DNA sequence: CACCACTAAGCGAGCGCTCACTTACAATGG
DNA sequence: CCATTGTAAGTGAGCGCTCGCTTAGTGGTG
């Protein structure tokens, strides 16, 4: 069974038209940026009239927020689920980077909007996604801090190391494209090796 | 002797008014993004009337191009000068990362525009800065490839490793701010250690 | 006086968004 | 079983406003 991309990305958004608008929004925002895309762009990419957007979303910014919030929740739960099912810091970091990087490659269009368009959000909505971002960073930092405490990691400052790890993942969405000759999964594995070495681990 | 920030950033741009406009542009573009800033924003930040911009630049896009081209040339020459004065791959990478990261921290406002607003450029201008970017990436890749050949680096794919190194540097401009409790120089040194470990070097 | 940097005023285009209206369809009741 | 009513989803037209940029004119300088 195959399902539409929009249904795969946002399974619990209803109706399908709203999902199509989100998909059109993601693609436009990723290509041209939020401020350079017009509501007419989005609507016509979704095969509808300009006014149709406002049946499902109160504003253009609300559409961006829906995309951004959903994307941040997805990456947070991805990170949290690794921490929930593993305990060894080395394994945690390996799987965490594998999944985080693979997601930013496979979903690079969504990820680009999530990572680089959040400043276009109104203050209140921005604060909500900023909280989610802080939680993601905190999880990574705590794993590194714990590994440093037990001696499996050797890092100067866990804060800086966590920043570096996340930078590597986030930035994948900036340069990755369909033409990249490396699958998301493979890239995630390669990056997790780089990160583990960066954190001063002996590769097992 | 102190000199204005704009004169420090663009010593050979004349007259001073043009530099002030570039500085105002950098600050506006970095804060709100290219498409969200208006020519009125820029002009009033430079203490002039909206029309004054067009005395010195033919368009808003041309102002962005001037900023972007200058910034790319600066980072390229930074990278090339390290390669010109050192030969050991380990030393080259260390200094290269130190300088690249420190620049992206100290000049994070300019760097933000350079790294994240280039898609707003018209096709022709975009192609010019894209060429500069490819040269930067090429230099880094070649240093890593050479180090891998002589055995001082151990990396799976030099292409991926080069991407990772640049990602770390570029992304600094996204999160670094005046309030960051680490000087650009210190950050560069810490990052260069992370990178050397990432590339499989024994720290000397 | 000629020149040049700069301004005040404003033009045409296109923006986000709204409004009056139509359509498709499900529920209700005699 | 059909006529009636209510509702959600969508359209075409266009409003009020702001955008990038232009034009006509001004004041200071050599």
A93-142 tens-digit pLDDT: 999 999 999 999 999 999 999 999 999 999 999 999 999 999 999 999 99
Check: CB of residue A185 under 8 Å from CB of residue A107: no
What local confidence, expressed as pLDDT, does residue A15 receive? 84
Exposed/middle/buried for B146, CB within 10 Å: 0-12, 13-18, 19+? middle
Measured distance CA(B129)–CA(A133) in Å, rounded: 31
For residues A4-28, average pLDDT:
86
What's the CA–C1' distance between A164 and D18, in Å?
41
CB atoms near residue B119 (< 10 Å): 11
User: Closest CA to C8 C1' — which residue?
Assistant: B49
Q: Which nucleotides of D are covered by protein (CB under 7 A)?
A: 9-14, 18-24
The pLDDT, as a whole number, for residue B4 is 73
Please judge whether A194 and B35 are an interchain contact, meaning their C-beta atoms are less than 8 angstroms apart.
no
CA distance to A79, A89, A98, A141, per residue, from A92 (Å): 9, 5, 10, 12
* Interchain CB contact of A16 with B (< 8 Å): no
Do A200 and B197 count as a contact with CB atoms less than 8 A apart? Answer: yes
Greatest Cα pair distance, chain A, in angstroms, is: 60
Asked if residue A166 has pLDDT above 80, the reply is yes
Q: What is the pLDDT of residue B147?
A: 96
Bigger pLDDT: A203 vs A147: A147
Percent of chain A with pLDDT over 70: 97
pLDDT greater than 60 at residue A1:
no
Confirm if A186 and B160 have CB atoms less than 8 A apart.
no
Residue A8: its pLDDT value, please? 78
B163-180 in b/e form (b: 16+ CB < 10 A) is: bbbbbbbbbbbbebeeee
**pLDDT at residue A204, as a whole number:** 54
Find out whether A57 and A21 touch, Cβ atoms under 8 Å.
yes
* Record: contact B156-A193, CB cut-off 8 A: yes
Q: Is the pLDDT of residue A53 over 60?
A: yes
Q: Residue range A48-56: average pLDDT? A: 94
Q: What is the mean pLDDT of chain A?
A: 94
Task: Yes or no: say if B199 and B144 are a contact pair by the CB < 8 Å rule.
Answer: yes
- What is the distance in angstroms between the Cα of B47 and the nearest Cα belonging to chain A? 25
What does the pLDDT read at residue B11?
Answer: 78
Residue B24 exposed, middle or buried by CB count within 10 Å (0-12, 13-18, 19+)? buried
CA–CA distance, B13 with B57 (Å, rounded to integer): 12
Q: Which of B84, B195, B92, B86 is nearest to B143 (CA)?
A: B92
Residue with tokens 């010109």: B84
| CB of B5 less than 8 A from some CB of A | no
The phi, psi pair for B57, rounded to 5°, reads: -135, 140
pLDDT attached to residue B195: 98
A49 touches strand D (CB under 7 A): yes
Facing residue for A164 by CB, picked from B119, B157, B168: B168
Q: Where does B86-183 have alpha helices with state H? A: 89-106, 108-116, 123-150, 158-175
- Does the beta carbon of A136 lie under 8 angstroms from any beta carbon of chain B? no
Distance (Å, whole) CA A173 – CA A168: 10
pLDDT, averaged per 10 consecutive residues of chain B (204 residues), comes to: 69 83 96 96 94 94 96 97 97 98 98 97 96 98 97 94 98 96 96 96 70
Is A132 strand, coil or helix? Answer: helix
Would you state the pLDDT for residue A2?
A: 57
Please, is A69 exposed, middle or buried when counting C-beta atoms within 10 Å of its C-beta (0-12, 13-18, 19+)? Answer: middle
pLDDT band at A50 (very low <50, low <70, confident <90, very high): very high
Distance from CA of B160 to the nearest CA of A (A): 8
The protein footprint on chain C, as nucleotides within 7 A of a CB, is 5-10, 14-20
- The nt closest to A39 (CA vs C1′) is C16
Kindly state the tokens that stand for B21.
């406009």
């Amino acid at each position: 069974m195959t399902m539409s991309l929009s249904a795969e990305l946002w399974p619990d958004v209803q109706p399908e038209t709203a999902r199509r608008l989100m998909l059109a929004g993601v693609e436009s925002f990723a290509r041209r940026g939020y401020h350079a895309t017009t509501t007419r762009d989005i609507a016509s990419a979704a095969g509808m009239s300009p006014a149709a957007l406002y049946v499902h979303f109160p504003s253009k910014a609300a559409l961006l927020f829906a995309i951004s919030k959903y994307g941040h929740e997805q990456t947070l739960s991805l990170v949290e689920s690794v921490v929930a099912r593993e305990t060894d810091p080395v394994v945690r970091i390996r799987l965490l980077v594998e999944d985080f990087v693979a997601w930013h490659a496979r979903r690079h269009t969504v990820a680009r909007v999530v990572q680089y368009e959040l400043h276009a959000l109104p203050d209140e909505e921005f604060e909500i996604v900023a909280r989610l971002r802080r939680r993601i960073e905190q999880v990574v930092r705590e794993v590194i801090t714990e590994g440093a405490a037990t001696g499996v990691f050797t890092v100067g400052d866990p804060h800086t190391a966590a920043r570096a790890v996340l930078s590597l993942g986030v930035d994948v969405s900036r340069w990755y494209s369909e033409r990249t000759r490396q699958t998301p999964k493979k890239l995630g594995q390669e990056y997790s090796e780089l990160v583990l070495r960066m954190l001063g681990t002996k590769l097992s």
